[in-house]
Structure 1
Amino acid sequence: MGYALHYYDLVLVCIAASLGLGAGIGYATPVAIEVSIAVLGVVAIGFIAHALFVNGPVDEPEDLTDEVAVEEVPQVLSPVNTAD
C-alpha cells in the first residue's frame, strides 16, 4: 500500500518551506531575520487561510453534523481495542 500526497500534506510542506525560506533569507542576506520570517510568515498564513476557508475539509456545514461509527475510525486513532 503506497502513500500518496494529498492537498493538506502539500499545505503543511508549503508552510514549513515558507518559514524555512524566511530563515534562510534572513541568514544569507542583509535582510533582518525577524523581517524575513515575518514577511514569509504572512505567506504561511495565506496557505493556512486557503486550506481552511477556500478549500476547507468539508463541503457543507451540514457535513460537520455527521456522526462517525467507532468501526470507521482508523485503529491508530481509536481509543477502543478491537478483536482484530
Structure 2
Amino acid sequence: MGYTWQYYDLVLAAIFVSLIGGVAVGQLTAIPTTTTAIAGGFVGVLLVGHGLFVNGPVDAPDDLTDEVDSLN
C-alpha cells in the first residue's frame, strides 16, 4: 500500500514552494529579493491561516474540548 497525500501535506508543500518561489523571482527579475521573499512569506502565512481556520484539523467545534490522555 502506497502513501496517500493528505491536505496538510499539500499545505506544507505549498508553503515551501511559496517561499522558494519568492526568492527565485527575486533572483531572476529586477524586483528586489527582499520584496519577493516577503511576498512569498505572506503567501505562506495565508496558507497557514487557511489550514488552521478555514479547513481546520477538527471535524466539529466539540472536538476542541476533548482531553489528551497522553498528557495526564
TM-score normalised over the length of structure 2? 0.86
TM alignment of 1:1-20, pairs within 5 A: 1-20=1-20
In the TM superposition, residue 38 of structure 1 has moved relative to its aligned partner by: 0.5
TM alignment of 1:2-81, pairs within 5 A: 2-67=2-67
Number of corresponding residues: 70
Q: Which has the higher helix share?
A: 2
Give unmatched runs, 5+ long, in structure 2: none
In the TM superposition, residue 62 of structure 1 has moved relative to its aligned partner by: 1.7
Task: Determine which structure has greater relative contact order: mean sequence separation of CA pairs < 8 Å that are 6+ residues apart, divided by chain length.
Answer: 2
In the TM superposition, residue 52 of structure 1 has moved relative to its aligned partner by: 0.2
Letter in 2 for 1:66: D
Q: Kindly name which structure, 1 or 2, has the bigger radius of gyration based on alpha carbons.
A: 1
Identity %: 47
RMSD (CA atoms): 1.5
Instruction: Give 3-state SS (helix, strand or coil) of 2:42's partner.
Output: helix
Q: How many Å separate the matches in 2 of 1:22 and 1:69?
A: 41
In the TM superposition, residue 67 of structure 1 has moved relative to its aligned partner by: 4.5
